[in-house]
Amino acid sequence: MWEFPNFCISLRTEITICQFFISLSMETKRPKILIIYTGGTIGMMENPVTHTLQPFDFSHLMENVPKVQLLDYDIDNIQFSSPIDSSNMNPQHWSEIAKAIEKNYDKYDGFVVLHGTDTMAFTASALSFMLENLSKPVIITGSQLPIGEVRTDGEENLITALQVAAATDAAGNAMIQEVAILFENYLWRGNRSTKMSADNFNAFRSNNYPELAKIGLGILFHEEALYRLPSKRPLKVRYDMDPNVMFIQLNPGMTPEILNHLLHTPNIKGIVLKTYGAGNSPSEPWFTQLINEANERGIVILNVTQCVNGGVKQSLYETGDCLSQAGVVSGHDITSEAAITKLMYLFGLGLPSETVKTYLQSAICGEVTIQN
């Protein structure tokens, strides 16, 4: 699946204003960064016949970013043999990205994943679970406009992602030790991020977690927000992501027939129930009965609010409490993307439903805030 072009950039930088704000490795050793190109708008070109945007190969992409050569880094790259629009992303692709990171983990200081924006937050969330004990930066970025466009945001995003991946703290350790999304003016925790805009350059946001860094004249890291492992352990990659999960989004007027049909989806193990407000749903007997029956069949149902900001408080209203009574687990302030990939990861570990529910009530890698 991977292509390893014989391509390595090892070039010298000019002084940049960012050096006042970020501490790049000052030792003689240059930062070594691996770019993993999967596709997305950043590398797309217009098909002359259909006029649609299609993924293109990496050499085209790098030719359009000559400024990368000003960075004093050793940069290698690999790419999907056929770069994809991220709407085609699936767990097999996540495994390919994770495998590339695992194989090259000791050789590089950091990783930059170039990815389409449409499912970037899902990939970021999935990788955060799959890459257990990650202590190096995995910075995912892309762009809203192709790199060849005059007004592209791709050049800036790529260069800043490389700088973030190379940044170190005062002790010389990697500043970022988690999966993060770099887009325009912000660095966000990957499993806290959501695509918010289909056309704004600031396309991503963490609605329930502060930014990891603000990108302006310089890169200002918010160190108190950064994830750190409780103790350093070797990277362990979990490749099995169970796809037998899905979203059910509530809407007024949902009928018992529709809900019953969805809850009887073949092989389904986990459901992210997208509820109203603070985690509320209809409290009518037919509704809670169907949910309760699904719970008794061993289906894990995780309550995530449809609101972009705030979280689930299942005991606040009777319409939320009825879900607790029916065995639904609160998703607190987790994003939909992190919720669905967390279910995939936990079922992928082969855990029984009750254990999955227990893990849903704790943060595995900074994806949720549990308030007692």
CA separation for the pair 154, 71 (Å, rounded): 16
Q: How many residues bind ligand ASP (CB under 6 A)?
A: 11
Identify the residue among 77, 79, 95, 117 touching ligand ASP (CB under 6 A). 117
CA proximity to 317, closest of 358, 289, 276, 345: 276
Nearer to ligand ASP, 43 or 311 (CB): 43
Q: How far is the CB of 242 from ligand ASP (least distance, A)?
A: 24
Encoded amino acid at 340, one letter: I
Backbone angles phi, psi at 43, to 5 degrees: -105, 15
Q: Are 182 and 161 in contact (CB under 8 A)?
A: yes
Nearer to ligand ASP, 121 or 340 (CB): 121
234 by DSSP, 3-state: which? coil
Instruction: From the candidates 41, 141, 152, 305, give the one annotated as an active-site residue.
Output: 41
Q: How far is the CB of 39 from ligand ASP (least distance, A)?
A: 6
Q: How far apart are the first and last CA of the chain?
A: 45
Contact set for ligand ASP, span 25-44 (CB under 6 A): 39-41
The residue whose Cβ lies closest to ligand ASP is 116
Nearer to ligand ASP, 118 or 367 (CB): 118
CA 153, 159, 164, 170 torsion-angle sign: negative
Identify the residue among 57, 74, 109, 118 touching ligand ASP (CB under 6 A). 118
Give Cα separations from 284 to 290, 296, 300, 319, 337 (angstroms).
Answer: 10, 19, 21, 9, 28
Nearer to ligand ASP, 166 or 179 (CB): 179
Strand order through the sheet with 270-275: 245-249, 270-275, 300-305, 329-330
Helix H or strand E encompassing 246: strand 245-249
Contact set for ligand ASP, span 124-183 (CB under 6 A): 142, 144
Encoded amino acid at 124, one letter: A
CA proximity to 329, closest of 275, 286, 366: 275
110-114 and 138-141 strand pairing: parallel
Identify the residue among 83, 91, 116, 279 touching ligand ASP (CB under 6 A). 116
Nearer to ligand ASP, 117 or 281 (CB): 117
Asked whether position 194 contacts ligand ASP by CB under 6 A, the answer is no
Nearer to ligand ASP, 142 or 320 (CB): 142
Q: How far is the CB of 43 from ligand ASP (least distance, A)?
A: 9
**Looking at 112-120, 133-141, 214-222, 248-256, which segment touches ligand ASP (CB under 6 A)?**
112-120
Tell me the Ramachandran region of residue 178: left when phi exceeds 0, alpha when psi lies from -120 to 50, beta otherwise.
Answer: beta
Task: Check if 41 is active-site.
Answer: yes
Contact map string, positions 64 to 93, toward ligand ASP, x by CB under 6 A: ---------------------xxx------
> Hey, which residues are catalytic here?
41
Binding site for ligand ASP (CB under 6 A): 39-41, 85-87, 116-118, 142, 144
